[in-house]
Amino acid sequence: MYIWLTYGATRFVLLLGPVVIKIPRIRLSMLISRLFHHLRNGTVRATMKKHEGKLLSIAAQGPLWGIRSSRGEYRFYAEHPDLPIAPIYWAPLGGFIIVQARGRPATSAELRRWLPCRLKSRGFMVNMELVRTEHVCMIGAKPCLIDYGNEDSRDQMMRFFA
């Protein structure tokens, strides 16, 4: 059986035979780096306004992105199982950990056949997540987005495929 452990920006990913197990990374160093990011870019006031001045909400944003991503994927798949996204087999604790179908990586040619007709016909700027081969896999003959924890990715999937 094939076993591989890797990680992304927000989650650890365990490839285990025919499934993928995604486990959130909780990164406390993100708290400090996001503060410096907002200070450097002058976005502290806008961020405070966006979160209605709730410092705890702002502080928890960076370190807890992995949890938000996993729960977002869990809810999105539950609401839209017909979209071309990798199916979720099991999500204990309300989506804290996700067990998802695993496919083979999509090639650049398969990705080009999958997206361009929709992009041209609807005139959208595309989120980079949707056009990177490491974010799309082939489950059977069907291309599926495998990393849709990002809200922008989910919004674009709804616009392109709904």
> DSSP labels for 11-80?
EEEEEETTEEEEEE---THHHHHHHHHHHHHT-HHHHHHHTTT-HHHHHHHTTTHHHHHHHHHHHHHHH-
Predicted TM-score of the model (pTM): 0.75
Task: Please report which helix (H) or strand (E) contains residue 160, including its range.
Answer: helix 151-161
The rounded percent of the chain whose pLDDT value lies above 70 is 79
CA separation for the pair 97, 90 (Å, rounded):
8
Model confidence at 123, pLDDT cuts 50, 70, 90, reads: low
From the list 77, 70, 79, 76, the residue with the least C-alpha distance to 98 is 70
- pLDDT (tens digit, 9 = 90+) per residue, 49-102? 776 766 666 666 667 788 889 999 999 999 999 999 999 999 998 889 999 999
Residue boundaries of the structural domains of the chain:
3-26+64-161, 29-61
